[in-house]
Structure 1
């Protein structure tokens, strides 16, 4: 009987029908593997194209073109009375000094139109540069010194290769005469590129060469500060209550369902909620970090609650029972034993939630943080913007020089997001416990 059964099984395993079915299943498995690999390679290729596009356009935002001129700090223009008063020095006509320096460098340039084009080679930031030099070192008055002055955005774009010299003059922002002046300066070593420190120290500006990301970075810092100060304690306390103290009934089940649903609500809905509550009802200052932080706190709360509950739930029940068996109250067991052990997971979820909030734009547009803010905010109630909104504003600007500013700001934002996610991974790996 056993021999007959084994013979039958052997016949079945060696049958042509079985071999054909096995070959078909193996082909399907290989086909699925190839499709999966193709999907991964396609995603990586698209990601590479995106990053290449951003980096190829944005790396030049971190360098800036300067023109070095011999500047005569004429006492007759700066301080004719010789008082050296800071008020007098601050109000001097430094534009005339720059214009005289350019006239001396190009004495053959005449005519109002040509002189206006010559003066436009430099940014109006050059006036501030000379003013700061005189205020810091009044002894330069009466001297002639070489000074590196910020070039205009057109000169900067030409130096970086974004303006095609081979185009017809009518289709080129830099005209032929300006090209001759720029080539002359470059041939004499008076045009050079430097690290654009102003990109990280200046606020926004209508002039591309003067625009910086400092205001948006400080605004993002204040906004995230408000967000974590509100969302973290409320989210953790809610998670502890729901996991450790809340009775299992329909009301609490409804709360849990709503928390999970809120995590999937579009972010712009939270912007509408912030507009209705914090601006129209509470009358908080528009376009201020305190309003942005409160709005993002509402959006981040569900993420923190869900992550905190998962971390608390991962703590073995034996720890709770051991603490209670030693005489601890339920509150002591939760706060002295369960919470410290679950804190790495809670911090990981919190950092990921904050990273999501850092990249949000839609809710902040709804509460007015899209306004042009030139000054760096000094507090949570000052008008401010954040990095994603600043990127949105620059991307909408028509000047070619703002394209590199947009890509450069995206690179800075990506760097912040990578650092925050790397910190979350580090905390999880360092403090993770396996039960």
Structure 2
């Protein structure tokens, strides 16, 4: 009886202890899960912060190095268009009955006479005029004075005379770009402790620049010519991105006109109409594999097919656009098929149930729902193609072209290739900033395309 009583009285105690142990075990398990969840959240937050920090460092480095290139030093001075120096006849006037060919021949002859004018004499006189105006008494020879001004300034003066010959004999106040070496000295990018024989500018030229900076005749101005001028080797201070920008524009136009419609049409056929057999399976596998092929391989393909076989012009935006089209097609096809697969099957069944044909079902019911995804994929594919460099190098777009292309068949550079060329320029002190400035322009275009994709996607989703 005693043992039975003890067992009876001990059972509740043992059960209470067991429940307490289970509760403690549950609390410990919950605590472990909570700690694991907290660790996961902290790791995720740390990863996001680390990624944002690296992006901030990248953009901060690009902006800090590139933004100064958008401001260059200029010399404000008076230029006298001396008729003794500009010793050319009056501009030809078209006579009654004169043919176009004869008039153009006269104009070309007159422009050749202008090209032979010693414009450097006017630039040297302009430097001396600024020195006299500001009371700079440094003795400077003609060669040193000429090295202060960018050599492209003589073409500016020539074009002013071509546009308005009446300015011959007049005096105009102009802002002339300093040369690349002069700009480096004014920005203090050149060491001032080096001996004269190791300096890129002579001692008088450096002293004159310093004196004119103190007086305010040499000052910073926004470098609009970066956007309006083409690349130049003879006058690097006035080199710009206009030719490369137009080359990239023509290439993206070719990509938009070819890659987007062909890619979307291929995706619609493969997803909605193509029979499921070994042939379509092989096509799908190859499309997925092409999306992972390095871009330089597409450049080799373009050089072999479009240039060597079809004999298309070397370094032409048309060839670059065709190569980038081949590279962009797999991305557009895969993204479009993903958008089509995301459409609920009930939509297709409902369309077929009310009597729509398969073609009507695809184009009237399924495709409008996928417009946001297709549009986003297309713009992102174009943005990716905009930044490609390797395939363009293999089709000759790294050649120096000092013209703005008028058509996609004209030779030109491209923005990524221009960055590559400037990065390898021997005048590192000047072109390092200019390279980062070109990167800023390229990134701005890519960010603009991505923002356009996001805006159009959200707008189309609201309409849907």
Residue 127 (structure 2) pairs with residue 102 (structure 1)? yes
| 1:29 positional shift | 4.3
Distance in 2 separating the partners of 1:170 and 1:433: 68
Q: Please identify the structure whose Cα radius of gyration is greater.
A: 2
Q: Which residue of 2 is the match for residue 427 of structure 1?
A: 456
Pairing partner for 2:57 from 49, 52, 55:
49
TM-score scaled by length of structure 2: 0.85
Deviates more, 1:361-370 or 1:217-226: 361-370
Pairing partner for 1:344 from 363, 372, 382:
372
Partner of 1:177: helix, strand, or coil? helix
Pairing partner for 1:387 from 400, 411, 415:
415
Residue 27 (structure 2) pairs with residue 14 (structure 1)? no
Structure 1 vs Structure 2 CA RMSD: 2.6
| 1:44 positional shift | 2.3
TM-score scaled by length of structure 1: 0.90
**Where in structure 2 are the equivalents of 1:22-41 lying within 5 Å?**
26-41=34-49
Partner of 1:120: helix, strand, or coil? helix
Pairing partner for 2:354 from 308, 322, 326:
326
- The Cα offsets for residues 374-400 of structure 1, whole Å up to 9 and x where unpaired, read as 111111111111111110111111212
| 1:210 positional shift | 1.5
| 1:26 positional shift | 4.7
Distance in 1 separating the partners of 2:434 and 2:450: 24
Unaligned runs of 5+ in 1: none
Q: Which residue of 2 is the match for residue 239 of structure 1?
A: 267
Q: Which residue of 2 is the match for residue 224 of structure 1?
A: 252
- The Cα offsets for residues 244-292 of structure 1, whole Å up to 9 and x where unpaired, read as 1112223212222221221111111111111121112111111111111
Kindly indicate whether the alpha-carbon contact (under 8 Å) linking 1:55 and 1:407 is maintained by their aligned counterparts in 2.
yes
Distance 1:24 1:61, change over 3 A: same
Count of aligned positions: 429
| 1:7 positional shift | 6.3
Residue 330 (structure 2) pairs with residue 302 (structure 1)? yes
Kindly indicate whether the alpha-carbon contact (under 8 Å) linking 1:65 and 1:156 is maintained by their aligned counterparts in 2.
yes
Q: Which residue of 2 is the match for residue 157 of structure 1?
A: 184
Q: Which residue of 2 is the match for residue 408 of structure 1?
A: 437
Unaligned runs of 5+ in 2: 1-10, 93-106
Residue 345 (structure 2) pairs with residue 317 (structure 1)? yes
Distance in 2 separating the partners of 1:190 and 1:52: 32
Distance in 2 separating the partners of 1:312 and 1:44: 33
Partner of 1:292: helix, strand, or coil? helix
Q: Which residue of 1 is the match for residue 156 of structure 2?
A: 129
Distance in 2 separating the partners of 1:301 and 1:198: 36
| 1:42 positional shift | 2.7
Residue 314 (structure 2) pairs with residue 286 (structure 1)? yes
Kindly indicate whether the alpha-carbon contact (under 8 Å) linking 1:203 and 1:375 is maintained by their aligned counterparts in 2.
yes
Partner of 1:75: helix, strand, or coil? coil
Distance in 2 separating the partners of 1:382 and 1:260: 34
